[in-house]
A = this chain, B = another copy of it.
């Protein structure tokens, strides 16, 4: 069976046809969203078609939080920062009396939330810096290997969306390059992007903190500083994509108004274009939130998706399963 899949995908790449023969998207219910995805890939890869896109230009960009893995009830990177505050607390006795660290140490989410994005950024810069990118990635990897999500009671890297893993693989099998474009930190995502999503470090375009080149005891290295360099969110997403790639993607996948400009810019180009928003309407299997949510707010996107020709995926109706089945 596995050999058959490989052969089918190989044929799809070699002959420029989407892998239709077998179902490359088994966790998607047959419906408008799945059909739209398959039809788009067929148009972009049909060499004799009007909308054929040469492989170099088959660039697909994916938001991460809420698009590839859960962001409910809070971003995983925020949970990581809170765990880091606790781990680093012995070296910072002053944190016991200083906000937002005090709230983090006491699991006082009310105070944390009241401080909004500013609090989150203070926690992130204080807990993500003072190391090299490699050291930081090792810390994240170590955390992912052990930390359990407070709501879903599973490892964070198991809370990825099975239908989206299939979509990533399906696009790649059809000659697309798949990038992650995230408000989350580049080095945070690089710690697991290749293993979990098949997206290597150089295909992660995320937020960054200032990094400095230093020579320490004769060894040249990069050192992460507690200062924001670039926030890859909202209007920053098209800017980040252009800075790294110098090309406009032809397909963009998101779930919140933080992805609006990325979809807007992507789908305004000529030829085959595709925009898709995941609507979290699945209180039973994951969560239901949209217009008024503090995480992943989706308001303008819901209003304008139809007029703009963007697909809105109902997690509840379009997805057969949400998370991968727990391993053995």
- Name A's B-contacting residues (CB within 8 A): 56, 133, 186-187, 190, 200-202, 204, 208, 211-213, 215, 219-222, 235-236, 238-239, 242-247, 261, 264-265, 268
Contacts and interface: CB of A to CB of B under 8 A. Distances in A.
Contacts of A211: 239, 242-243
Nearest to A59: B202
A202 B238 contact: no
17 contacts: A56-B200, A133-B242, A186-B246, A187-B246, A201-B245, A201-B246, A202-B244, A202-B246, A204-B246, A208-B243, A211-B239, A212-B239, A213-B239, A213-B261, A213-B265, A215-B264, A220-B238
A322 B203 CA distance: 35
Contacts of A244: 202, 244
Given A213-B261, A235-B213, A239-B211, A133 B246 contact: yes
B212 A247 contact: no
Interface centre among A220, A221, A268 (most CB of B within 10 A): A220
A186 B244 CA distance: 9
A202 B245 contact: yes
A164 B284 CA distance: 60
Given A186-B246, A187-B246, A220-B268, 7 more contacts: A56-B200, A186-B243, A201-B247, A202-B245, A213-B236, A221-B265, A222-B238
A150 to B, nearest CB: 29
Contacts of A187: 246
A261 B221 CA distance: 10
A220 B234 CA distance: 13
Contacts of A264: 215, 220
A58 to B, nearest CB: 13
A190 B242 CA distance: 11
A56 B219 CA distance: 24
